[in-house]
Amino acid sequence: MNVVVVETVRGRDSKRYPAGLPRPREELNRMRWMVHGLVCRDGNSIRAAQAIMLAEHGVRRSLGALHRDLARYECPSCAGPAPQPAEAAGDE
């Protein structure tokens, strides 16, 4: 059985939060690319991507945060091929 241990600290509101919050910009970008790869390229659901990120990378993100990352940022596999420019009608 694989177990992932996430270190937590008690916040001002007495709830437990991961110790590394707020995350640095570079780590957030890495996680955005990771979720895009898991959902867009590999075809996983958002919930499955959340489970994979926790099991394999030790990163816990809420479903809302993952959905926001997918909606706000477009990866190359999401973008698809660039549209072809229309040819001019009078160039024969």
User: Which position has the higher pLDDT, 88 or 20?
Assistant: 20
Structure tokens, 85: 């420019």
User: Which position has the higher pLDDT, 44 or 18?
Assistant: 44
Which residue has 């499955």 as its token pair? 48
Q: Is the model's pTM score more than 0.75?
A: no
Region of residue 58 (phi > 0: left; psi between -120 and 50: alpha; otherwise: beta): left
pLDDT in tens, 37-79: 999 889 999 999 999 998 888 888 889 999 998 888 877 767 7
**Domain ranges in the chain?**
25-75
